[in-house]
Structure 1
């Protein structure tokens, strides 16, 4: 009996049981941290990107396929131009803005989790319950990423680096913000870290005197698959094929070309079906997402390209150098923020560590890969920035550089331990105190975020989910609304909604007459709360057809412009909200 007990204790301390205990403790610790964070810091969605991808996922889960209720005039233009049958909005509109991996995975989760989209009109509204479930989904992905960081830290350095890097990654407040933001970043993190894990294995096999070519080919094929899934999570990550091929060529002593071709083959095989789908629906490979490079330029400021029904006229006067100016401006800003990439000071340790040469080739090759990926993603992020980036520049799906942060953390922690070892501090207590102090300092943003007072979880202005859902229910499921926050109407209201056209006369009437009747208009505080003199009074002086002018005339004169087809307003919502309909649907 005593012998059996001793074996059991030995198993727990040093055998397989030790691993089980550590994983169990890690799961419990992360679950407690997630619970505390969600109770203290959870916020409802505050970006149109999160609402957009979530409503697409809901459509998939309900059997409607990759369709969207957030309808962009640019998307209508692409579909109409390609189909030429006059039936652009006769049925569900294909989603041409989002890559498919995240909404597809989220749709599967929606089928098994208890999602309830109904918002009570009698109870106090604090949080939208489906968004809590989506946060839990992303936090599960976050935990997988933490495990991968530990595995990579252990592989590149040693277990202590793996543990500390994983702990600091889990205590970085910026990633917790991503976990509740509703964007695809957590899935991209998991896929990217998995890709790096595979690349490290390829490096190990390539260093062997007699490499196992079968295993090597299997790993390169798997790398191509992960790269393809990254592309299908966000198109911009497809550019990582450049540093991946460079790393494979650097790591292998022979058959570099064959293995690089294998990666490219599987990558293209993975993404081709979706590109074919996009082309069959719109005549373009990337849908409206392919026009991101033109946004935020002099020719297409803000979100104007998404709101135009015929961008071809404006492209005739577009100059490529406008994109160049955009890239330089955005790259300059992103480069200035590099020392705080990831939301803490570990990036500074990584940058300092660039001066230290490594004897192990896997560390040198990995660092080169990080730097090359950093340059590629910096350029792609700068070129692809859209009007959504200034709203939340760090917590946004357009923040591509964030996927590199866990690797940078690992190298930063590695440098910390290198410096700690050279200090020759005697006594376990002294070293433990240094590590604890280092952890506390790096985790200070997270600690301060958890301290009281608790922030209100709402994102008003401009989003007020109960009101949006209430006014959306005035419309039938096949009727169309127009709004300045169409993603919110699609997500909270579950109704088709188009973004405001460029003009309230020509653009509105063209969409209304040529595509589908618009039954209601909702203008939120996003437009109505703009600075009066700069954004609203100026259009009045110019006598243009902007929606700012439309709102100003409606509010100041107490009547809708005479030539506008929607005449009936809910007066009790003014002046914070302007809701117009074709008849008094609320009576």
Structure 2
């Protein structure tokens, strides 16, 4: 009896020691990720530090409305959305999923609204929008890796993840990609541990897949293969397991589906769907978003142009996959799926992961080509690739010194890109002082000088909506589109142009370029212009503003 008690105490102490050792390792990786994030933040962001990506600014201005209790509404209005909601007031967001904006809205609420006008909130959005989720993804990746591979492979995989150039670059964008990666990792944990008996795990997978859908719509299609996966993997009550997964998924997304149905008549409606037409010959540039005309909406888009769009997306993904996973890691990931003769530690989920990846690859090739569309899969593929590399060394029974040398070379080859990305910027300060994309001071000066509720056109409507809190319509394709907008909603009060308007597609109406060039050259509004705009100002950086005199505040 005494020996039994003594053994229990000993086992308890050993367990405490193991927990302490694991905690130390997790803390060490967290500290490493924090250091790498702040190095990237200090070297790779422009000065002054501001949001740079249009999509990040778009999410931020939606979040600002959320923080004010105005719901998921937008001040950045795409002309095509006026076909579904013909009003500028409390215009609903019909393009982006809501979850990331709701989260950012809570962040803005925490730090209060006044600092938004000064641009100081941009740094906080970068950190809390993507930086903190990069850090949180590290322990989640460790948990997942420890479930399917030995500890040494898990830690080596995390090293490759936190030193990946594109992952670090994404961590300072304030885009929802890293946020989505965290949700996807959480979803993979119960999926990887599902043994066919535990009914709670399909529910957990369904719940987090629903959150993924509310962050990126394309993840909603994962529900079909996962439903089949749970049906065949369950040992008993197969249909019950699959239905519990599906019901959890639908329970999470149903409020948003109801909202979309009430607004548009389609529960799965999103203007993102129009992206498959964009940047093609029938729909050059962003024409599908920048026109509200029936003739554009009903324009034919035949299979030939669809095939060309797919081809261009696949071509871009070919380089994106190599740049994301690295030239040296990618072959190990590919071979790991088809090589026989090695002991696979991820057989439970590797084929369902590959199927989900194939779905996302096809959809993002059509709608959102680029590395950020597939980045959520990078952690699990890193684990798979590193696992095969170590398995091959184990099979060959390599000499310990040679083994250490090979592992060292493998590490150096995979972290070299980030070192080459950092080194020049450490020695040349001007290299990371990029030119300012948006001059928020100009936008804010205009915003304080016009009456509340004024509506303007702009070639950078995301920036005028965020920094100036102005209702901003994306520059219509031409005069016919402009007049259609006035009929659907109301007359537009003015326009804010930046030099970026000169880079708009040459196939569109030249009226805006001519108007901008005249203003910049003569510093005055053309007389008797068709828009009724009579007042203007030209800024030193090339931005111009013109409007009706009626919207100007009287001093």
Q: Which range moves more in the overlay, 308-317 or 264-273? A: 308-317
Q: Is the 8 A contact 1:41 1:454 kept in 2?
A: no
For residues 72-471 of structure 1, what are the structure 2 equivalents within 5 Å?
Answer: 72-80=78-86, 88-89=87-88, 91-113=89-111, 117=115, 128-137=119-128, 138-202=130-194, 205-206=195-196, 211=197, 216-285=198-267, 286-311=269-294, 314-342=297-325, 345-357=328-340, 363-385=346-368, 393-394=370-371, 399-427=372-400, 431-451=403-423, 452=426, 453-454=428-429, 460=435, 462-471=437-446
Tell me the equivalent position of 1:22.
25
The Cα of 1:305 is off from its aligned counterpart by: 1.2
The Cα of 1:423 is off from its aligned counterpart by: 4.2
The Cα of 1:443 is off from its aligned counterpart by: 1.1
Please give the root-mean-square deviation of Cα atoms over the aligned residues, in Å.
Answer: 3.1
- The structure-2 alpha-carbon separation of the partners of 1:444 and 1:466, relative to structure 1 and needing over 3 Å to count, comes to farther
Distance 2:114 2:391 in 1: 51
Deviation track 1:534-579 (CA, whole Å, cap 9, x = no partner) reads x66x87xxxx5542344345556765263231132214547x2232
Tell me the equivalent position of 2:51.
45
Distance 1:370 1:118 in 2: 41
Distance 1:258 1:330 in 2: 38
The answer as to 2:450 corresponding to 1:475 is yes
The Cα of 1:158 is off from its aligned counterpart by: 0.7
Tell me the equivalent position of 1:84.
none
TM-score by length of 1: 0.83
Q: Which range moves more in the overlay, 142-151 or 181-190? A: 142-151
Deviation track 1:339-390 (CA, whole Å, cap 9, x = no partner) reads 33345632232123234237767623422123212221111112223xxx6x
Distance 1:366 1:565 in 2: 63
Q: Which range moves more in the overlay, 453-462 or 38-47? A: 453-462
| Equivalent in 499, 510, 515 of residue 474 of structure 2 | 499
The answer as to 2:535 corresponding to 1:563 is no
Deviation track 1:314-343 (CA, whole Å, cap 9, x = no partner) reads 415343553333223312432354333345
Q: Which range moves more in the overlay, 52-61 or 283-292? A: 283-292
Corresponding residue pairs, total: 535
Q: Is the 8 A contact 1:475 1:495 kept in 2?
A: no
- The structure-2 alpha-carbon separation of the partners of 1:423 and 1:324, relative to structure 1 and needing over 3 Å to count, comes to same
Distance 1:113 1:564 in 2: 40
Q: Is the 8 A contact 2:164 2:324 kept in 1?
A: no
Q: Is the 8 A contact 1:173 1:343 kept in 2?
A: no
Secondary structure of residue in 2 paired with 1:521: strand
Secondary structure of residue in 2 paired with 1:317: coil
- The structure-2 alpha-carbon separation of the partners of 1:333 and 1:449, relative to structure 1 and needing over 3 Å to count, comes to closer
The Cα of 1:68 is off from its aligned counterpart by: 0.8
Distance 1:440 1:240 in 2: 35
Q: Which range moves more in the overlay, 365-374 or 558-567? A: 558-567
Q: Is the 8 A contact 2:234 2:241 kept in 1?
A: no
Tell me the equivalent position of 1:582.
548
Tell me the equivalent position of 1:4.
none
